[in-house]
A and B are shown apart, each in its own frame.
Chain A
């Protein structure tokens, strides 16, 4: 199905998902200013694709997030200095956010896609540029690490919900 948006339509569609896109870029880059640059540049990338007739296979939202993630990955590859020294960076204010900050970028992004955006594995896979099976694996491992860190730091054991099959199916 081909959907061609006008400039105004395209900008309106992007503005409708600017908040999660900016948060996604922040989660990947850990730098607020760089995240703004990334979303801005990714929007231009997306517009360049769109105006050439490039389509969004299923969901504009997921496709746009994938473009933002691609732009963030490029920026990470091109950066010369360690993260956090270029601009204002997110800071941990509690144990969970501290653990999230110390996860790998892909694991943090996978958790963000699952728990903040509420996306299914198939759409998370589009954003991460991998397969749904690997997404499941990554999320599982990230959650295990989160559990372990929290249990270690809090000295408590986190008990899973009664219906564990729901968690396993996700």
Chain B
């Protein structure tokens, strides 16, 4: 190829693509640091092999050995404490520790995050939608002291099994919606013309909603408020039949409010995110 044409191809690629927005880097940092430590078990559905050939895993073996040593040290420490304090005293102390831990759970969770991770911003409805990836879980809903329903798997970092809300106060219009399947989670995305409006995502034990029954045995209700009266012209129903998301349907859209129903094959924890450019509400449902 001529040098001139080579340059033209380069210039064309420069026009067709663009630099990534800074928020992509932050989103990646958030996700990497939100994941389990190296050597821990991967969540189900994680890719076993994605890239080119992989070498043997001495690093994994080392971390496995380290885990065994840590576990053994913990067992010895607990046994020693039991011998020193006696079974009754140990039980009382453990109860006290548990009570303290439960009463400070949110603070402890935040403190456990690495220092490089940005603190989750306030997601009260009055805060305008940001272009940053914002972790919506439990911003306005205190953590429930009761355990999650039995069929739901343990939530991964960043996921929660209780209602999540957030969004901004500006009026916006839904432009498109889509679903997708990823490794370890299924994704439901709604795009907006002018920032993500106030939203709430509530789990429920069945796929029956006020306006009909969707596929699946559990569901999520996505309530959107402060929408413009233009109405939604995009696709209103999806039946992807993914591992978790079986169906998504726009249940209602009137009076500046809309409600999406998501039918799930089983109750599962989820993670609601706000992303910018275009403004999107992203709901990842854990496999």
* Binary flags per residue of A48-62, CB closer than 8 Å to B gives 1, else 0: 110111111100000
**6 cross-chain CB contacts under 8 A:** A2-B55, A18-B20, A40-B24, A49-B47, A49-B51, A116-B13
Min CB distance, A3 to chain B, in Å?
10
Q: Establish whether residues A88 and B278, one from each chain, have CB atoms under 8 Å apart when the complex forms.
A: yes
Q: Per DSSP, are chain A's interface residues mostly helix, strand or loop, or mixed? A: helix
B180 within 8 A of A: yes
Residues from chain B with a CB closer than 8 A to the CB of A56 are 51-52
Residues from chain B with a CB closer than 8 A to the CB of A2 are 55, 58-59
Q: Establish whether residues A22 and B20, one from each chain, have CB atoms under 8 Å apart when the complex forms.
A: yes
Residues from chain A with a CB closer than 8 A to the CB of B55 are 2, 53-55, 57
- In the A-B complex, the 3 residue pairs with the smallest Cβ-Cβ separation, listed nearest first, are A53-B57, A55-B55, A23-B17
Q: Given A33-B280, A49-B51, A81-B178, does the pair A115, B28 have CB atoms closer than 8 Å?
A: no
Q: Per DSSP, are chain B's interface residues mostly helix, strand or loop, or mixed? A: mixed
The complex places the Cα of A39 from the Cα of B59 at a distance, in Å, of 25
Min CB distance, B235 to chain A, in Å?
8
Q: Given A100-B16, A112-B13, does the pair A67, B50 have CB atoms closer than 8 Å?
A: yes
Q: Given contacts A27-B16, A39-B24, A79-B180, could you give 8 more A-B pairs where the C-beta distance is less than 8 Å?
A: A11-B32, A19-B20, A22-B24, A52-B57, A86-B176, A88-B278, A90-B17, A115-B13
Q: Establish whether residues A167 and B1, one from each chain, have CB atoms under 8 Å apart when the complex forms.
A: yes
B53 within 8 A of A: yes
The complex places the Cα of A48 from the Cα of B49 at a distance, in Å, of 9
B11 within 8 A of A: yes
Residues from chain B with a CB closer than 8 A to the CB of A37 are 180
* Binary flags per residue of A124-155, CB closer than 8 Å to B gives 1, else 0: 00100000000000000001001100100000
| Chain B interface residue bracket vs A | 35 or more
Using CB atoms and an 8 Å cutoff, list the residues of chain B in contact with chain A. 1-3, 5-6, 8-13, 15-21, 24-25, 27-29, 31-33, 35, 38-39, 42, 46-47, 49-61, 116, 176, 178-183, 191, 235, 238, 240, 275, 277-278, 280
Which residue of the partner chain, among B24, B32, B280, contacts A10 with CB atoms under 8 Å? B32
Q: For B242, give the chain A residue with the smallest CB separation.
A: A78
Min CB distance, B285 to chain A, in Å?
15
Residues from chain B with a CB closer than 8 A to the CB of A39 are 20, 24, 28
Q: Given A4-B59, A7-B38, A8-B116, does the pair A158, B19 have CB atoms closer than 8 Å?
A: no
The complex places the Cα of A33 from the Cα of B273 at a distance, in Å, of 14
The complex places the Cα of A129 from the Cα of B183 at a distance, in Å, of 20
The complex places the Cα of A54 from the Cα of B10 at a distance, in Å, of 33
Residues from chain B with a CB closer than 8 A to the CB of A10 are 32
Min CB distance, A73 to chain B, in Å?
11
A75 within 8 A of B: yes
Q: Establish whether residues B54 and A48, one from each chain, have CB atoms under 8 Å apart when the complex forms.
A: no
The complex places the Cα of A88 from the Cα of B25 at a distance, in Å, of 20
The complex places the Cα of A77 from the Cα of B277 at a distance, in Å, of 24
Q: Establish whether residues A96 and B20, one from each chain, have CB atoms under 8 Å apart when the complex forms.
A: no
Residues from chain A with a CB closer than 8 A to the CB of B275 are 33, 36
Residues from chain A with a CB closer than 8 A to the CB of B12 are 94, 96-97, 100
Q: Establish whether residues B13 and A23, one from each chain, have CB atoms under 8 Å apart when the complex forms.
A: yes
A93 within 8 A of B: yes
The complex places the Cα of A115 from the Cα of B2 at a distance, in Å, of 12
Residues from chain A with a CB closer than 8 A to the CB of B191 are 33, 87
